Every structure is written in C-alpha cells, then in structure tokens.
C-alpha cells in the first residue's frame, strides 16, 4: 500500500519515496553512483565522521573468514571492504569486488591497485544475476548496498546460491534507530547531507536520494525475515549506534 492508501502496482519498486518500474530504478541508481563515484569516499568520511570504516571492520569480524578463504563483496563500490577482507584471507585466498556500476568499480580497482591490492578481482555484474557457480564462496559481504538493489529478494537468493554450505552472509546497512530522541537527532543531522553533497561533490540530488532510500529500507526484523526467506539459517543482527546501522549475519 502507498502511504495514502492506494494499491501499488506489484511490478513497481521504490526509488526513494517514488514508485518506478524496476528498469527505471536500475537506471536511476546507476546515474546516482556515476555522479558521485569520484567523491564517494570523501563524502562517506564526511557524513559518518569516519565511523563507516569502524563499522566495516566490525562487520568483517563476523564473517568467520580465515586465510585462503574465498569471499565476494557485493555492491563493493570503491573497494574499502575488499582491502580489509584481503588482509584476512591473504594472497592465497580470493577476494572479488562486484558492483553493477562501472564508474564505481573503476574507482575501486584503481584505488586497490594503488594500495597494493592488485590481486583483488573487480567484476561489473548485477547482484541479482551473480556470474559464479553454485557453492563457490566461503563468505559474502554487502556494505551499504542492499537498499539500492532493485529486487532485494532475488539478490539474497543469488547470494545463497553461490555460497558454500556453512558459508556466511554479512550485511552492513543503514537501519532503524530504536530511541525516539536518537531517531529525531539523526533525522535532523541527515538534512545536512544534501548541503555537503552540493559543496563537496557538486550535486545534492544523490544525497537526497540517500535519505529517502534509508527511509524505505526494511527495518531490522523485516530484513531478517527476507534473509530467512532466501533460505538462510542462524539469522541474527547487531545494532550499531542504537540501530542507525545494523549488521545482519546468516549462514547457508
């Protein structure tokens, strides 16, 4: 149902607060990230005061990865998480950065090469159609990318397919703050994001979309239910910053 009570065409999906055709969402999300790719890392640091780097380290600790493991970072963007994963699995392991947006992947590949991680593979592909065989990876990570996917259920099912039995899925994502005062303060702080986007990245629109995409993203319990529906077990989550961000972990 829409907020006003009308029935939404089941073939239409959220792009922020709008309902659009799936292909249109894919196109719009692609445009958003092509626009911000070169300033993406700077904006992440500004908007989170650098906390996103700590959140990613915490997320990696829940993956149960070991040296020589094979890991896929879905919607890996500019490669921050891949570098951290590579430090865990080592050169004898395998780390693949996958993103549907070539502009983001290009930035990520260059950054990883310049940081000494040239052995990390970068692949441009759709999370809803992963180009890997069944039961291939020991772990899959998704950091702040699931909410941008057109069909989240299909993407989660694909993650389940390419994981080995016993493999782990770890999702780090914006979520729903539990404390009303924190929720209000966070909402007030979010209003600065489009201003910062205009000043730093030269475009405020992607950061207005960011706020809206967080608004419509499933809360902790809803996302857990989606993960279970994709076939995963041992599904749990841990709130960070009172639920502003959450880490979801599941096992195939």
Q: In the predicted model, is pLDDT for residue 171 greater than 80? A: yes
The residue to which tokens 């729903």 are assigned: 176
Q: Quick check: is 1 in a domain?
A: no
Question: In whole angstroms, how far apart are CA 120 and each of 110, 135, 229?
Answer: 11, 20, 31
Q: Quick check: is 71 in a domain?
A: yes
Q: What is the pLDDT of residue 6?
A: 36
Q: Quick check: is 205 in a domain?
A: yes
Q: Quick check: is 165 in a domain?
A: yes
Question: In whole angstroms, how far apart are CA 44 and each of 35, 119, 124?
Answer: 14, 25, 22
Which residue has better confidence, 143 or 48? 143
CATH code, domain carrying 117: 3.40.50.150
Cα–Cα dist 91/119, whole Å: 7
Give the number of domains in the chain. 1
Q: Domain range spanning residue 66?
A: 13-251
pLDDT (tens digit, 9 = 90+) per residue, 219-236? 999 999 999 999 999 999
Beta bridge pairs of residue 89: none
pTM (two decimals): 0.87
Phi-psi region of 232 (alpha: psi -120 to 50; beta: other; left: phi over 0): beta
pLDDT (tens digit, 9 = 90+) per residue, 17-35? 666 677 777 777 667 667 7
Q: Quick check: is 6 in a domain?
A: no
Which residue has better confidence, 173 or 7? 173
Q: Give the DSSP per-residue string, 41-84.
A: HHHHHHHHTTHHHHHHHHHHHTS---TT-EEEEET-TTSHHHHH
- State the burial class of residue 125 (Cβ atoms within 10 Å of its Cβ: 0-12, 13-18, 19+): middle
Cα–Cα dist 104/33, whole Å: 7
Q: What is the pLDDT of residue 192?
A: 86
Which residue has better confidence, 3 or 20? 20
Q: Quick check: is 84 in a domain?
A: yes
pLDDT (tens digit, 9 = 90+) per residue, 149-163? 989 999 999 999 999
Q: In the predicted model, is pLDDT for residue 128 greater than 90? A: yes
Q: Quick check: is 7 in a domain?
A: no
Q: In the predicted model, is pLDDT for residue 240 greater than 50? A: yes
Q: What is the pLDDT of residue 146?
A: 94
N-terminal to C-terminal alpha carbon distance within the chain: 32
- Give the lowest-confidence range in 31-35, 92-96, 116-120, 216-220: 31-35
For the segment 89-112, the average pLDDT, to the nearest whole number, is: 93
Q: Tell me what the pLDDT averaged over the chain comes to.
A: 87
Cα–Cα nearest to 214, from 170, 171, 176, 172: 176
pLDDT-based confidence at residue 8 (cuts at 50, 70, 90): very low
Q: Quick check: is 5 in a domain?
A: no
pLDDT (tens digit, 9 = 90+) per residue, 29-87? 667 667 766 777 777 777 788 888 999 999 999 998 999 999 999 999 889 999 999 99
For the segment 4-19, the average pLDDT, to the nearest whole number, is: 54
On whether the CB atoms of residues 69 and 91 are closer than 8 A, the answer is no
Q: In the predicted model, is pLDDT for residue 9 greater than 70? A: no
pLDDT (tens digit, 9 = 90+) per residue, 183-203? 899 888 888 888 887 888 787
Cα–Cα dist 163/141, whole Å: 11
Q: What is the pLDDT of residue 83?
A: 94
pLDDT-based confidence at residue 209 (cuts at 50, 70, 90): confident
Phi-psi region of 197 (alpha: psi -120 to 50; beta: other; left: phi over 0): alpha
């Amino acid at each position: 149902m829409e907020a006003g009570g009308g029935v939404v065409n089941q073939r239409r999906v959220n792009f922020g607060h709008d309902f659009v055709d799936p292909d249109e969402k894919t196109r719009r999300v692609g445009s958003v990230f092509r626009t911000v790719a070169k300033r993406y890392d700077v904006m992440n640091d500004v908007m989170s005061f650098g906390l996103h780097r700590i959140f990613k380290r915490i997320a990696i600790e829940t993956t149960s990865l070991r040296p020589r493991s094979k890991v896929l970072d879905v919607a890996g963007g500019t490669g921050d998480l891949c570098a951290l994963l590579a430090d865990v699995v080592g050169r004898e392991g395998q780390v693949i950065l996958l993103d549907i947006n070539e502009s983001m992947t290009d930035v990520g590949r260059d950054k990883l090469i310049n940081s000494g991680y040239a052995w990390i593979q970068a692949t441009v592909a759709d999370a809803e159609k992963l180009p890997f065989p069944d039961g291939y990876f020991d772990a899959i990570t998704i950091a702040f990318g699931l909410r941008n996917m057109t069909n989240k259920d299909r993407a989660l099912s694909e993650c389940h397919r390419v994981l080995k039995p016993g493999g782990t899925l770890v999702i780090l994502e914006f979520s729903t703050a539990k404390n009303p005062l924190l929720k209000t303060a966070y909402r007030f702080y979010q209003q600065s994001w489009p201003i910062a986007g205009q000043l730093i990245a030269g475009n405020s629109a992607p950061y207005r979309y960011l706020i809206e995409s967080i608004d419509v993203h499933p809360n902790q319990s809803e996302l857990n239910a989606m993960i279970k529906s994709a076939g995963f077990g041992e599904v749990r989550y841990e709130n960070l910053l009172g639920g502003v961000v959450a880490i979801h972990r599941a096992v195939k």
